[in-house]
Structure 1
Amino acid sequence: MNLYTHYHLARRLEWLLRPDDPADYAWGAVIPDIRYLAGMPRSQTHVAIAEVKSWLECFPALRSFTQGYLVHCLLDQIDVAGTLETSFPMPLLQKITRRKLSQTQATMLVEYYYLRDARENCARQDGASPAAVISGKHNAILAELGIRPEQTEDYAWALKEYLAVPTLENAVRLARRLGLVDDSRFEKYLGAAQSLQKNRLLLLPMMWSVRNGQFERRGKRLIRSYG
């Protein structure tokens, strides 16, 4: 999953965990992807669920942050492409696109769906976007993962700006700040998003497939299964 998808779903699932500090919870839900800015392998920030749960005892003062981090790692267990394949008639999709939906395309579709939803909500509120709050604080868990305070600060600054106005254009700006411009996966993501924006015949059924994928419900099941 991509960044805004993680943020949106974590906020929607917040009531299940009832964090004491919602801003630190939201921060934990998006921080694992700091690996791009820090130049770290995925395994360094996307750690095993058991290790994340151990932080609840090792770092009790960071409980809300840990809860958000746990939600991020759990959501990443969802097979996004597989989920969309079961929520959309794939023979029809393959006839339209002439190819099987890739994982990159699938995560882009879900991200675009939630960005589009955020834009429509903003329009309904006369242009007033709801405040997106993350704590952005460096802490002992991040230090243990090898993340430096200045990296935390840079990442938090970029994220706060993006989450305040979550659009595809700002997602591109964020990617540049994180050093993803030359990343082949990002180039595929951006190309797919731009292509989708121009093809309304494909856009509408695709958005329906994301909604029918019930990612929030799947996240809820994962949280409950891991206690």
Structure 2
Amino acid sequence: MPHAFALNLYQEGDFVPQYTFEWCVAASIQMMHNLIDDTGAGTWADPVQQGELWEMARARSSNSFNGANPLGWAQVVTEVGMGPYAVVSIANYEEALQTAARAIADTDRPVGLVMWRGRHVWVMSGFESLGDPDQFREFSVTGIRVQDPLYPYGDQQWGPSPAPNTLLTPEQLATQFVVREPRRWSSDLPTGYMLVLPFAEASSGLRTS
């Protein structure tokens, strides 16, 4: 019988705001580093570094005039030693949440969420579920821990930014985590809920500089 289960990578100090309205991907890369590096000794939060990470991601994005996109995001986190990561698109919402939760449980690494039909990104740092994903093939995600780099500004159309480490219900997350708009940037991925997903083949180690 599946029991309530919870996993959260977040520690105080892991959150990083985006320092410009364009740099959500770069701030999310910094947060992902902080969530993976639980020593706290090498926190990434520097504005200059955030700009450099944005340029890296933008250079690796298929449509760089749109800024940094999820393909560039996945490539940068892999290159700097947090990978491997890849972009996946999942048609079913519940399946997308299960895929994200299972990836966090399998790798102890966060998941990127492509928000607002492709216009913004958050980091999923943990979850609550009925059933441990490592023990049950079938389990249901009941809560999602999120980091929105735009906090506290939010968006007039999409709603307020949740505070760092907020636990959202699937229904609450669904107001901003919606199917990605295919025309936002060139990609052969099918329409769906888009994740920047860690895979279990861990890299040789996290670089802290």
Normalising by structure 2, we get a TM-score of 0.29
Name the structure with the higher strand share: 2
Structure of higher CA gyration radius: 1
